[in-house]
Amino acid sequence: MNAINVGAISRSIDLDRIKGRIPGQLETKASTPSRFVTFSLFLLFPLSLQSLESELAVTGNGTEISDFLLYLCSDAMLTRRGGWELSSSASFCAALLLLHVAVVLPGVVSSQSLKNSKLTTTSPWLTLSGDTPLVIAKGGFSGLFPDSSSFSYKFSYVAGSPDTISWCDVRLTKDGNGVCLPDIVLDNCTNIKLVYPEGKMNYIVNGVPISGWFSVDYDIQNLSQVSLAQAILSRSNKFDASLFPILTVEDLVAQVKPAKLWLNIQHDIFYRQLNLDMRSYLLYLSKHDIPSYVSSPEVGFLSSIVGRFRTSKTKLIFRFLGEDTIEPSTNVTYGSLLKNLTYVKTFASGILIPKYYIWPVTSSGYLESYTSVVMDAHREGLEVFASEFANDALFSYNYSYDPLAEVLSFIDNGIFSVDGVVTDFPITASEAIGCYSHINMSNSDHGKPLIISHNGASGVYPDCTDLSYQQAVTDGADYIDCPVQVTKDGILICMSSINLMEVTTVTTSPFSSLSSVIPEIHDGPGIFTFNLTWEEIHKNLKPAISNPEIQYSIYRNPLYKNDGNFMRLGDFLAFGRDKDLSGILIRIENAAFLAEKLGYSVIDGVMRALQDSGYSNQTGQEVMILSKNSSVLIKFRQQTKYELVYMVDESISDMVNSSIMDIKQFAHMIAISKQSVYPVSQQFITGQTKLVQKLQSAGFGVYVYLFRNEFVSQPWDFLSDPTVEINMYVQGAAVDGIITEYPGTAAAYRRNTCSKLGDQAPSYMSPVPVGGLLQIMDPQALPPTLAPMPSLHAADVVEPPLPAVSPKPSSFGAGEESGLPPSQPSYGRHLVASIFLSLVMLCGSLLV
pLDDT tens-digit readout, 421-436: 999 999 999 999 999 9
pLDDT at site 345: 97
Instruction: Examine the pLDDT at 43 and tell me if it is beyond 60.
Output: no
pLDDT at site 620: 84
d(CA 365, CA 375): 25
Which run of H or of E encompasses 429? helix 426-435
Determine the Cα angle at 120 with ends 114 and 123, to 5°.
70
pLDDT confidence band for 618 (50 / 70 / 90): confident
What one-character-per-residue DSSP string does 461-510 give? SSTTBHHHHHHHHHHT-SEEEEEEEE-TTS-EEE-S-SBHHHHBSGGGST
pLDDT at site 833: 39
Provide the CB-side half-sphere exposure for 497 (13 A, CA). Answer: 19
Domain 134-184+256-436 carries which CATH code?
3.20.20.190
Nearest to 449 by CA among 680, 663, 723: 723
Instruction: Examine the pLDDT at 221 and tell me if it is beyond 60.
Output: yes
pLDDT at site 755: 86
User: In sequence order, which residues have a C-beta less than 8 Å from that of residue 318 and are 6 or more positions away?
Assistant: 295, 296, 297, 299, 302, 337, 344, 347, 348, 350, 351, 352
pLDDT at site 45: 31
Nearest to 315 by CA among 344, 334, 295: 295
pLDDT tens-digit readout, 786-806: 899 999 999 999 999 999 887
Instruction: Examine the pLDDT at 74 and tell me if it is beyond 60.
Output: no
Residue 76 has phi, psi (to 5 degrees) of: -75, -30
pLDDT confidence band for 18 (50 / 70 / 90): very low
pLDDT confidence band for 616 (50 / 70 / 90): confident
Dihedral angle of Cα 637, 642, 645, 646, to the nearest 10 degrees: -10
Determine the Cα angle at 729 with ends 726 and 734, to 5°.
130
pLDDT tens-digit readout, 447-467: 889 999 999 999 999 999 999
pLDDT at site 808: 59
Sort 508 into a burial class: Cβ within 10 Å, 0-12 / 13-18 / 19+: exposed
pLDDT confidence band for 122 (50 / 70 / 90): confident
**Kind of pairing between the strands at 165-172 and 134-138:** parallel
Mean pLDDT of 326-338: 95
pLDDT confidence band for 224 (50 / 70 / 90): very high
The fraction of the chain above a pLDDT of 70, given in percent, is 80
The one-character DSSP state at 185 is: B
What one-character-per-residue DSSP string does 519-577 give? TTT-SSEE-BGGGS-HHHHHHH--B----TTGGGT----GGGTT-S-BEEHHHHHHHHH
d(CA 597, CA 420): 62
pLDDT at site 21: 31
For residues 55-89, one letter each, b for 16 or more C-beta atoms within 10 angstroms of the residue's C-beta and e for the rest, the string is ebeeeeebeebbeebeeebeebbeeeeeeeeeeee
User: In sequence order, which residues have a C-beta less than 8 Å from that of residue 503 and are 6 or more positions away?
Assistant: 462, 463, 464, 495, 496, 497, 543, 544, 546
Nearest to 615 by CA among 625, 626, 629: 625
CATH class of 454-498+563-776: alpha beta
Three-class DSSP labels, 267-284 = CHHHHHHCCCCHHHHHHH
Helix, strand, coil percentages, rounded to 5, for the chain: 40, 20, 45
Mean pLDDT of 228-234: 96
Mapped onto helix, strand or coil, the DSSP state of residue 371 is strand
- In the predicted model, what is the mean pLDDT of the chain? 84
* Domain spans in the chain, listed from the N-terminal domain onward: 134-184+256-436, 454-498+563-776
pLDDT tens-digit readout, 465-476: 999 999 999 999
